[in-house]
């Protein structure tokens, strides 16, 4: 069996990831991945199942009011969850079912931990606010993971329509040109620079956005050098705040830390939706026309 090195494991990391994962989880997860890859035959799906089991243990700890134990087990569960993809990419053993299992397992873990945390604190204090907290955490998490693939689909449709529009413009230009002429270099460049063209159009459509956008790009390049995603609050940081940071601080931090993290996550989602809306205004995502009905002659 091939012996893997830590550099091999590092090569399997995502090109961009959350700052929580990059700085506080990957240093541990990569070394655990190296040990698992070199000394065990555990599959990525096996790691996903282990992560889910640990997530259930964390939920039980929260349910019994053991906040520190629940937080530590949740951290380990997430670290194991980060390992399955690395093992899959390292050994080439990933499966399509594994993608589904990983996605659903994450949702089940979050909902169960939210329920355990709410139940444990409600039983201890009798405060209904903890029930609302658990429900809010579950709803926010499910909204984010339902909304994200839909936004991605919208952007893909817009880009596809833009490419079709460019192709139609090039074809129309070719019909009016000489028979031997081909598609102009300008049209080809327009196709290749599509990803740059649309964001620039968004900048022009946003008042006073140019200067702040340049600052954002410099900050984005800094984050890119460290593999950190440009948006600093995502589902991962939200989970870390609610299920790791707040429980480790103590009961008094559960509500304020969770509320602040939830508001920041919601603002981030609103901002992403706003950017998507600007994106669709630049190139309307009109539905593809249906084929005309055939008329027999």
Residues 240, 78: Cα–Cα separation, whole Å: 9
pLDDT at 100 over 70: yes
Over the stretch 217-271, which tens digit does the pLDDT of each residue have? 777 788 888 899 877 889 999 999 999 999 999 999 999 999 999 999 999 999 9
> How much is the average pLDDT of 16-36?
96
Question: CB-based contacts of 37: which residues, under 8 Å, 6+ apart?
Answer: 4, 9, 87, 90, 91
pLDDT in tens, 170-205: 888 877 764 544 444 444 344 444 444 445 555 555
Q: Measured at the alpha carbon of residue 248, what is the angle toward residues 247 and 251, in degrees to the nearest 5?
A: 45
- Whole-number Å distance between alpha carbons of 36 and 90: 11
The residues, any chain, with a CB within 8 Å of residue 26's CB and separated by 6 or more, are 13, 17, 82
* Residue that wins the pLDDT comparison between 68 and 193: 68
Instruction: Report, as an integer, the average pLDDT of 149-153.
Output: 89
């Amino acid at each position: 069996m091939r012996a893997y090195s830590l550099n091999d494991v590092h090569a399997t990391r995502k090109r961009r990831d959350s700052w929580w994962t990059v700085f506080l989880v990957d240093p541990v997860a990569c070394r655990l991945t190296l040990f698992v890859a070199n000394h065990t035959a555990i599959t990525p799906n096996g790691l996903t199942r282990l992560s889910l089991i640990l997530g259930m243990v964390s939920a039980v700890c929260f349910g019994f009011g053991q906040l520190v134990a629940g937080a530590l087990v949740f951290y380990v569960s997430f670290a194991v969850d980060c390992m399955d993809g690395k093992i899959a990419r390292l050994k080439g053993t990933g499966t399509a079912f594994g993608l589904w299992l990983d996605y659903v397992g994450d949702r089940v873990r979050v909902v169960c931990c939210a329920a355990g945390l709410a139940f444990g604190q409600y039983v201890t204090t009798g405060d209904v606010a903890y029930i609302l907290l658990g429900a809010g955490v579950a709803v926010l998490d499910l909204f984010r993971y339902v909304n994200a693939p839909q936004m991605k689909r919208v952007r893909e449709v817009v880009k596809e329509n833009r490419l079709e529009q460019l192709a139609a413009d090039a074809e129309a230009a070719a019909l009016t040109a000489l028979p031997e002429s081909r598609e102009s270099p300008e049209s080809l460049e327009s196709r290749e620079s599509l990803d740059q063209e649309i964001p620039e159009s968004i900048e022009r459509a946003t008042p006073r956005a140019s200067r702040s956008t340049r600052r954002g790009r410099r900050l984005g390049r800094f984050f890119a050098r460290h593999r950190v995603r440009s948006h600093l609050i995502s589902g991962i940081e939200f989970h870390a705040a609610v299920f790791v940071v707040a429980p480790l601080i103590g009961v008094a931090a559960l509500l304020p830390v969770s509320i602040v993290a939830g508001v920041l996550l919601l603002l981030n989602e609103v901002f992403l939706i706003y950017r998507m809306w600007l994106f669709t205004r630049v190139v309307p995502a009109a539905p593809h026309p249906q084929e005309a009905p055939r008329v027999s002659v």
